[in-house]
């Protein structure tokens, strides 16, 4: 049985308000990541404290940067289980963690931030990790 929606809906809405697209099914995931061009950030959401205190706020801060991914999408671990499993199949060589943030460029994962890299940090530190990846891999950087 999954988490109650009264618990998870505010966590979903926090990302939706940032302009993040929810992927609720494996088909949604494949539509976004198969044959993908440009850059896509995948945020694996979670009910844990480090998602609430560091990962989601860090994502929000990172998206205020001038250089950012073309698309930002999310799945919710423990809620949209099949969609989360499908997302993780795109980087199956890494152990699953929640939260987890992957940056794809032209269909290839180029950066991954795992839970152990989020725990014990701060939202600005998470944002800094993401912005560094954006500036290295995203096409909208200044030439």
pLDDT of residue 79: 92
Q: What is the mean pLDDT of residues 108-120?
A: 95
The more confident residue out of 3 and 23 is: 23
Which of these is catalytic: 20, 42, 50, 77?
50
Cβ–Cβ < 8 Å for 2, 78: yes
Using the predicted structure, report yes or no on whether residue 12 has a pLDDT greater than 70.
yes
Using the predicted structure, report yes or no on whether residue 90 has a pLDDT greater than 60.
yes
Write the pLDDT tens digit of every residue in 47-62.
988 899 999 999 999 9
If residue 126 lies in a helix (H) or strand (E), which one and from where to where? helix 123-137
pLDDT of residue 50: 87
The more confident residue out of 125 and 143 is: 125
Which of these is catalytic: 15, 20, 33, 48?
48
- Give phi and psi for 47, each to the nearest 5: -85, -5
Active-site annotation holds for 138:
no
Strand order in the sheet with 39-45: 21-22, 71-76, 39-45, 100-105, 108-113
Domains defined along the chain, listed by start:
5-137 (3.40.30.10)
Query: 């989020």: which residue's tokens?
Result: 118
Threshold 0.95, pTM exceeds? no
Q: What is the mean pLDDT of residues 20-43?
A: 96
């Amino acid at each position: 049985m999954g988490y109650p929606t009264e618990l998870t809906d505010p966590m979903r809405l926090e990302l939706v308000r940032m302009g993040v697209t929810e992927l609720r099914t494996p088909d949604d995931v494949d539509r976004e990541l198969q044959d993908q061009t440009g850059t896509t950030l995948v945020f694996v959401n979670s009910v844990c404290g480090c998602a609430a205190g560091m990962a989601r706020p860090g994502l929000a801060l990172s998206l205020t940067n001038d250089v950012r991914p073309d698309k930002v999408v999310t799945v919710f671990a423990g809620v949209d289980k099949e969609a989360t499993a499908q997302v993780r199949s795109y980087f199956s060589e890494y152990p699953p963690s929640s939260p987890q943030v992957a940056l794809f460029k032209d269909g290839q994962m180029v950066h991954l931030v795992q839970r152990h890299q989020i725990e014990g940090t701060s939202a600005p530190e998470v944002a800094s990790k993401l912005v560094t990846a954006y500036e290295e891999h995203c096409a909208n950087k200044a030439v």
